[in-house]
């Protein structure tokens, strides 16, 4: 179990598969630069950002799922730690952001959908919502997607959200973190912060 969480009452937590651009997105949001790379699984422990004057932390949890060069039992242990962290601190979360790769998410979900298997992304989305955490799906790398609306509709369908995607703008946020185009995510997060009377945190998103 991850042990290094700052003692903060409020938190926005970021989760997602390895290599979906989560660390790039966190760098864009926090202004902090840290170890990222083309190698999946670089982040093995949470990165916590409690730089604000408020009783508030932004957390980047390790990537889950397949990681090149990482053994299966280690991957499972990381995923178990992520789940335990989310369960333990759910009451502190003002929002969770599930980051997915806009170009490949639907294909990955379809490839892992069987009678015996729920894809990690779908499982994580529903798990967060079952915990009662307002959850935004940040659909990253949209600059590489040609059929934008169709792709977002398909993703909504896989997540159990009735298309068209435009009616879920507090849940589905198309972004391109590498280009700094994250306005849709900031707006969705502000909606959830406002609903919980935390407008003072708008300055961070």
The string of pLDDT tens digits covering residues 31-84 is 876 554 444 445 578 889 987 778 999 999 998 876 667 787 888 888 899 999
Element (H, E) at 99: strand 93-101
Overall residue count recorded for the chain in this entry: 205
User: What is the predicted pLDDT for the residue at 197?
Assistant: 96
Q: Determine whether 54 is exposed, middle or buried from the number of CB atoms within 10 Å of its CB (0-12, 13-18, 19+).
A: middle
**How far out from the chain centre does Cα 168 lie?**
16
Task: Spell out the domains of the chain, with CATH numbers in brackets.
Answer: 10-198 (3.40.50.300)
The C-alpha angle 157, 163, 169, rounded to 5 degrees, equals 105
Q: What is the mean pLDDT of residues 167-185?
A: 97
Return the residue matching tokens 């990690």.
Answer: 120
User: What is the predicted pLDDT for the residue at 34?
Assistant: 55
- In this predicted model, which residue has the larger pLDDT, 135 or 19? 135
Lowest mean pLDDT among 14-28, 61-75, 87-101: 61-75
User: What is the predicted pLDDT for the residue at 31?
Assistant: 85
Nearest-angstrom CA–CA distance, 100 and 160? 16
pTM: 0.92
On whether the CB atoms of residues 41 and 63 are closer than 8 A, the answer is yes
Q: What is the mean pLDDT of residues 161-174?
A: 96
């Amino acid at each position: 179990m991850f042990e290094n969480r700052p003692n903060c009452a409020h938190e926005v937590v970021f989760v997602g598969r390895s290599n979906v651009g989560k660390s790039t997105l966190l760098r864009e949001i926090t202004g902090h630069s840290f170890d990222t790379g083309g190698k999946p699984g670089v982040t093995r422990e949470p990165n916590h950002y409690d730089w604000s004057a408020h009783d508030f932390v932004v957390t980047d949890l390790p990537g889950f799922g397949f990681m090149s060069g990482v053994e299966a039992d280690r991957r499972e242990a990381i995923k178990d730690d992520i789940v335990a962290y989310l369960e333990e601190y759910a009451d502190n979360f003002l929002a969770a952001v599930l980051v997915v790769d806009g170009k490949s998410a639907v294909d990955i979900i379809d490839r892992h959908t069987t009678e015996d298997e729920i894809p990690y992304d779908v499982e994580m989305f529903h798990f967060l919502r079952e915990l009662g955490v307002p959850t935004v799906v940040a659909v990253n790398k949209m600059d590489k997607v040609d059929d934008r609306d169709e792709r977002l509709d398909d993703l909504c369908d896989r997540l159990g959200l009735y298309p068209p995607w435009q009616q879920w703008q507090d849940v589905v946020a198309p972004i391109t973190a590498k280009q700094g185009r994250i306005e849709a995510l900031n707006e969705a997060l502000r909606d959830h912060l406002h609903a919980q009377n935390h407008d003072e945190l708008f300055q961070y998103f």
